[in-house]
Amino acid sequence: MHIEAGVVAGAKMLLSYGTATVVAGATAKVAWDNIKENGLISLVLKSIIATIVVFACFEVLPHYPIGVSEVHLILGTTLFLVFGLAPTAIGLAFGLAIQSLFFAQFDLPQYGINVTTLLASMFVLNMAMKKIVSGKTAYKDITYSQMLKMSIVWEGAIVSWVAFWALYGQGFGTENLANVFSFCSAYMSVIMLEPFIDLAILASVKIFNNSNCNIFFDKRLTNCIK
């Protein structure tokens, strides 16, 4: 989902600054709500772990440049289920920032674009979750079909944003359309893999299920109530 350098350039980059500001504000809002509900220490700990996982996904796991962007397995749905919306959004933003600052400086000018893609997609996933999974259902009890729907929403939102940035930056020329199609086709294949990873992690939660709340995990993981 790292948009290639030069796909969006010049004055068109201003839009990415605006969208990045919007998603940063939304993240600050859900972070504040999370602090009021779970405390600052819990948010910080979960955010640190999420940041480490996101960074590992970007730098350690295989990633391939295809078309206008790169194909990554980001494990966004996994992070969302285990840590919750606010820590995951923070982890995505900081994990991407660390990579851009220290390991892929050529991606730094596109940070606003890439962070918008990730965070906006995460907020879309959060809204979709309210319809996919009942509020009374613990995340550990989610079915494969529900996981597949979540993965479709998450990956689909990322693909949609990347396609938007590419078309916004380069127009509807034949070559650009072909590059967008190549990326979208390759990235959507991740949909078939991510639900199995999520279910494997949730299965381990069932094995070590503890009814007590844990500051390292989202309360909805086991429907734990303080």
Return the pLDDT at 195. 78
The answer to whether the Cα torsion of 25, 34, 52, 208 is positive or negative is: negative
**pLDDT for 128:** 95
pLDDT at position 155: 87
Residue 42 has pLDDT above 90, yes or no: yes
In this predicted model, what pLDDT tens digit does every residue of 131-166 receive, in sequence order? 999 888 888 888 888 888 888 899 889 999 999 999
Average pLDDT over every residue of 62-76: 80
The torsion angles phi and psi of 172, rounded to 5 degrees, stand at -110, 30
Q: What is the pLDDT of residue 67?
A: 80
Q: 3 near 113, Cβ under 8 Å? A: yes
The band of 22, judged by pLDDT with boundaries at 50, 70 and 90, is very high
pLDDT at 226: 47
Q: How far is CA 107 from CA 37, 54, 57, 69, in A?
A: 35, 16, 16, 11
Task: Using pLDDT thresholds of 50, 70 and 90, give the confidence band for residue 172.
Answer: very high
Residue 104 has pLDDT above 70, yes or no: yes
Report the percent of the chain where pLDDT is more than 70.
Answer: 95
Query: What pLDDT is attached to residue 27?
Result: 98
Q: Is pLDDT above 50 for 84?
A: yes
Express each pLDDT in 198-225 by its tens digit: 888 877 877 766 555 678 888 888 876 5
CA 17 – CA 110 distance, rounded (Å): 10
Rounded mean pLDDT, 93-121: 93
Give the residue-averaged pLDDT of 50-70: 85
Residue 148 burial (CB count, 10 A): 18
